[in-house]
Structure 1
Amino acid sequence: MKKHILFDHDGVLVDTEFWYYKAGERALADIGLTLDKARYLRDMSRGLGTWAQARAAGIDEQTISRQRVVRDDYYRDYLRTAAIEIEGVVETLAELSTYARMAIVTTAKRADFDLIHEKRTIRQFMDFVLVREDYQFAKPHPEPYLTGLKRLGASREETLVVEDSARGLNSAVAAGIDCAIVHNEFTKAQDFSRARYRIETLNELKGIILDMT
């Protein structure tokens, strides 16, 4: 029986993946580089991301550090202005909250998370939120989800993780927790063979939870 749900955040509860990519694209364009999207997606699945292409092009670490700050500024501008809601998420969370305790375990920085949810209602359904500053090792390390389990006071068997990336899935698997992968255009080509469930939208979680009761 699943009594608890640990949600990833970006790409699962809000549609931010595209805008993170666009921010990196702009930051590299500022120094004369074109961010190849296909390679970016491959690099992201391996935990590398934007700066792998910069390093491959011979860009020095000082410049990368400077442009990382620029990228983060661009990203926050997008978070303030872009439409990042995923249709049906709030309604689904409201319904799920009658069946399970829920929390968010994200690699997002606290400043970005707070900016996203300044005027949104998702947090009201969550017992707590763990952001990148709340644990030492990022996904795919199991620490984020093990920390979530500890905060919930829950067993692995009672808990379901909801993710959209291979890194997140591997974190859940390493923590010994069943994982449902929700479809995301940005991560759809990643290896999800270890996922317990594959779903198109969060609305399908109700069926998973009720089938286990």
Structure 2
Amino acid sequence: MNSLRTAPRPVKIALGAAVLLAVGLLVASGVLSLRVGEPDSADPVDVGFSQDMSVHHLQGVRMASLAREKSQDRLIRQLAFDIETTQLEQTGRMKGWLSLWNEPDLAPGNPMTWMAGEHDQHASQRTAMPGMAAKQDLDRLRSLDGPEFDVFFLQLMIRHHRGGAPMMQYAAQEADRPQVRNLAQQMLTAQTAEIDAMRRMLEERGARPLPD
């Protein structure tokens, strides 16, 4: 009985290690995606977006990885796999850029201060990015099974995607480097389609999205 009780911890540790390893392996793709000969520096939007969106993505990866392991629904597992693999690759690319620019993986101050207007109105109060699931939400997700798990996963992921959309929209318009603008637009297009698909999945299950 004791071995059964302690089983989730090594599984959780292995899952976290796998995510970190995958990101590490993908960082090189981010470095190679920039053109040879470009200066090893970037403006605040390029840096801030890459830092904050990497953090945002990695929580989405962890939720998707959990859904891929726990859900009994084939469509949910496929969706989770798509989110996990796509956002891991994108995170690796952004971390590769940050390495090339000699910038830290994490922003030193509050999130999203690189967006115009955020300094005066919200930056001093904000401690987390919109859409990020709280610890109690993640704990609840881990505790659920079956249809209840599927519904709550969809609800959390819809809110997560919607929360990241303003960062993507801003970077797609204001980032200095075309690689950053293009990636932000690709994210926005893909996640908008995923939100529509997840809304339909919730409706089929008689549920609604969570409030932002």
| TM-score of the pair, normalised by structure 1 | 0.28
Greater fraction of residues in helix: 2
| TM-score of the pair, normalised by structure 2 | 0.28
Higher-RCO chain (CA-CA 8 Å, sequence separation at least 6): 1
